[in-house]
Amino acid sequence: MNAGRPSTTRLHWYWVVGATLVLIVAVIAGVMVGPIALSPVDIMASIINRVPFVSLDTELSVRDEAILWEIRMPRVILGVLVGSMLSAAGASYQGVFRNPLADPYLLGAGAGAGLGATIAIVYAPATSSWIVDPLPLAAFVGAIGGVALAYVLGYTVRSGRTAVTLILAGVAVASFLTALQTFLQQRDSDTLREVYGWILGSLNTAGWGDVALIAPYVAVCLSVVFIGRRLLDILAVGDTEAGTLGVRPGRVRLIFVIFATLGTAAVVSVSGLIGFVGIIVPHTVRLLTSASYRVVIPLSILVGGAFLVVADIIARVAISPGEIPIGVVTALIGAPFFAVVLRTSKGVVS
């Protein structure tokens, strides 16, 4: 099907091994490093103790155990899930829209989630008696609603239902929803810091509950994107040409947008709007390896998880015991890093 494409469409085993090692190192660092120094030996012992019928002595107090297992571990795992999902979603968006600037928030998922979160923060009565925490739910619904609106708008255009009209519809919807969000935020100064903090993103208060909440979504959405990644390569030749190859561009686009959005909506609902990951991770992978989505999607999943875990280490350690919003770190560290990759690689951005 892809005769004439260079051999770099192949996913070399050493790329996978390399990216997996990067992820493993990042996760180990994420578990070992924190504002509170716990000895690596004790951490290892505590992890081994989780294996049934094994009991090693550790120097960890009850509180240290809580720090390790209830705060640091879920935070690292959540970082992996969020980073992987945002990177894969970003790569998918770049593929279906053939636009290197596309990111997971392109069609209004970010603006919609922001509006949903703001509504929840401003209007949901403060009480602990909710069955479901209204904030993630509202962000999730907002993200999906934003993209649905953009899709409906983009596909009711009379002339031409192309990727470009969809992007323009997304821009319009995102501006509109952001305006509404800003309006609500301005009217309620008391919640300003909370809204602002949510928009910058944080994994600071994450727990296992958040991990359990988003893991199913991330698993399903990553699987779909992974399985369908070949179709993105076909779309890259253009809608008309893809059509002659038996692919229906509109349908492929819809499927990728649905699953990339579902996954994005799930992760931002617990982490807030962490920016930049969805752009720089796929591009870095592309510049270092291949422009083929058969390579970019799987490697972005691995590298994206690693990138966010590393960004989160910086977020919690740089001004410890203070926190830096992780969205600030991803841009602050990610942008210069990306510039270096851009300068030093010979790769081409498709």
Interface positions with another protein (CB under 8 A)? 34-36, 62-64, 66-67, 69-72, 74, 125-128, 186-191, 193-194, 197-198, 202, 204-209, 316, 319-323, 325
**From the CB of 128, what's the least distance to another protein, in Å?**
5
**CB closer to another protein, 39 vs 156:** 39
Q: Which helix (H) or strand (E) holds 340?
A: helix 326-344
Cβ neighbours of residue 337 closer than 8 Å, sequence gap 6 or more: 280, 284
Residue type, 233: D
Nearer to another protein, 67 or 172 (CB): 67
By beta-carbon proximity to another protein, the closer residue of 7 and 189 is 189
- Read off the tokens for 126: 């403060």
Q: In angstroms, what is the minimal distance from the CB of 161 to another protein?
A: 41
Nearest distance from C-beta of residue 30 to another protein, angstroms: 12
**Closest distance between another protein and the C-beta of residue 135, in Å?**
10
CA 184 to CA 186: how far, in whole Å? 5
* CA-to-CA separations, 350 to 63, 99, 212, 290, 344, in angstroms, rounded: 50, 8, 36, 9, 17
64 vs 233 by CB, closer to another protein: 64
CB of 64 to another protein, least distance (A): 8
**Size of the chain in residues:** 350
Query: Do the Cβ atoms of 292 and 124 come closer than 8 Å?
Result: no
CA gap 227, 221 in Å, rounded = 10
Pick the closer one to another protein by CB: 7 or 129: 129
Q: What is the DSSP letter of 3?
A: T
Q: Measured from the CB atom, is 151 or 198 closer to another protein?
A: 198
Tally of CB atoms within 10 A around 36: 13
Write down the residue that tokens 């031409």 correspond to.
160
Between 73 and 218, CB nearer to another protein: 73
- Is 127:249 a contact under the CB 8 Å cutoff? no
Least separation in angstroms between residue 43's CB and another protein is 13
Q: CA torsion angle for 24, 25, 27, 31 (degrees, to 10)?
A: 140
For residue 214, the minimal CB distance to another protein (Å) is: 15
Separation CA 15–CA 302 (nearest Å): 10
Between 70 and 241, name the residue whose CB sits nearer to another protein. Answer: 70
Min. distance of Cβ 304 from another protein in angstroms? 24
Distance CA 229, CA 231 (A): 5
